[in-house]
Amino acid sequence: MSKTVADVVKMGKEVEMVDFRFTDLPGTWQHFSMPARELTEELFEEGMGFDGSSIRGFQEIHESDMILIPDPDTAFLDQLLEVPTLVISCDIYDPVTRQPYSRDTRYVAKKAEAYLKQTGIADVSYWGPEAEFFLFNDVRYGGSANSSFYYVDSREGWWQSGKDLGPNLGAQIPPKRGYFPVPPTDTMQDVRSKIVLALEAAGVPVEVHHHEVATAGQAEIDLRFDTLTRMADNLMIYKYIVKNVARQNGLTATFMPKPLFEDNGSGMHVHTSLWKGEGNVFYDEAGYAQLSDTAKFYIGGLLKHASALLALAAPTTNSYRRLVPGFEAPVNLAYSQRNRSAICRIPVYSKSPRAKRIEFRAPDPSCNTYLCFAALLMAGLDGVQNRIDPGEPMDKDLYELPPEEAGQVKQVPGSLGDVLDALEADHEFLLKGDVFTMDLLEAYIAYKRQVEVDPVRMRPHPHEFTLYYDV
């Protein structure tokens, strides 16, 4: 049920603090708080000022003043904090023009939803991401001019099986054997359940939780599908609650795509459907996998723009430790029903028209979900508008193809630098309806190259000492 400004002001009378949150360009929540007595209806019109030059990807120092306008519909009670606190997400505005800020990624998501309606293809899109993560018992990392290291540990990690832990109770999870074991092998059941209960208390419905494939506490909690901007909002709450419940239970959570060598990384498979009125426009009983022509053209758009999309959907250098050809990673530019080796999968668990959807498997949870979802929608709509043929489906194991067949299946680029280049070359589809702006894309690409690509590229890798120290 939607919340009005009056509803939220009333909620504020039941707490001591109000916390205002917004998302920076890379996709991390930022916040500040004020006493609950300051929450008035006028605040939702006038907004609150902040220094945009201190936020990653935002303003220069000479134009730093920005305004936050709270969105009452996002308010929830934060039950993880000791001091009773009401949390409200905000939209970002320019104080001079009083117009929405072009680099506010939540605004991009809202514009994508408005553009969908404008096209007439559908009225609404629904989104169901599967964001995986790890729960570790210990993490240490650092680096300097003459050193670089990381170390993670988990009581259920397979490397613990031979240690004297005084006592070692066994049942550690071997690599790639973490999918669905019951406790005590699954040591994280209660922690995941606590996360689910906290999510539900915050108004974020959950469908299922379970241990994932990797050893060392890999987990997945699936949220019930929702509209684009609301689901991106829910994922911000999701990450926040996962990290805080983990910390309260003596654990550390990470959404880093590939924290472990020789085991599965954490992805974020994204399920999407488009609806017009009461009808799912992706459904056609007579089509392949019960897909309509609209759905197939949507897939065509995803496949055509996949390289550029990954700059927004798998946006870290670490993402490409996961997206490696020849392993269990969705790098093949193909579509199929059931087949998890294709970048686009059509789940066939149910024959109901309401359940028909497309799963895009390349994204990971390091992304800014507002930008990721908006970009996926724009690519799919471009496919529908231009009737882009996705080709024939690939209903076979793409990792076991004969060399002559495998060579005909295109794959995604292998590094963050490559996909940023692809985004520079292929972005016109994102600019339709002024959903994305060149200002945002240029700032995003520059940030990624300067802060992530170049520093990683210039540093010696610890394994290079094993390979090359004695050359």
> Three-state DSSP class for 253?
strand
Q: What does the pLDDT read at residue 408? A: 77
Q: What does the pLDDT read at residue 399? A: 67
- Residue 354 CA to residue 123 CA, distance in Å, equals 15
Write out the residue limits of the CATH 3.10.20.70 domain(s) in the chain: 5-101
- Residue 265 CA to residue 257 CA, distance in Å, equals 5
- Residue 319 CA to residue 233 CA, distance in Å, equals 22
Q: Phi/psi of residue 219, each to 5°? A: -140, 160
Domain 124-139+202-209+220-468 has CATH 3.30.590.10: yes
- Residue 88 CA to residue 321 CA, distance in Å, equals 35
User: Nearest-5° angle of CA 26, CA 112, CA 116?
Assistant: 160
The strand ranges marked E within 97-196 are 124-136, 138-144, 147-153
What's this model's pTM, rounded to 2 decimal places?
Answer: 0.95
Q: Please write down the HEC assignment for all residues of 63-116.
A: HCEEEEEECHHHCEEECCCCCCEEEEEEEEECCCCCCECCCCHHHHHHHHHHHH
* Tens-digit pLDDT string for the chain (471 aa): 789 999 999 999 999 999 999 999 999 999 999 999 999 999 999 999 998 889 998 987 677 889 999 999 999 999 999 999 999 999 999 988 999 999 999 999 999 999 999 999 999 999 999 999 999 999 999 999 999 999 999 999 999 999 998 899 999 999 999 999 999 999 999 999 999 999 999 999 999 999 999 999 999 999 999 999 999 999 999 999 999 999 999 999 999 999 999 999 999 999 999 999 999 999 999 999 999 999 999 999 999 999 999 999 999 999 999 998 766 788 889 999 866 778 999 988 888 889 999 999 999 999 999 999 999 999 999 999 999 999 998 877 766 777 777 777 888 999 999 999 999 999 999 999 999 999 999 999 999 999 999 999 999 999 999 999 999
Q: What does the pLDDT read at residue 341? A: 76
- Residue 18 CA to residue 89 CA, distance in Å, equals 11
Which residues are designated catalytic? 51, 130, 132, 212, 220, 269, 340, 359, 361
- Residue 207 CA to residue 225 CA, distance in Å, equals 9
The domain made up of 5-101 has a fold known as Ubiquitin-like (UB roll) (3.10.20)
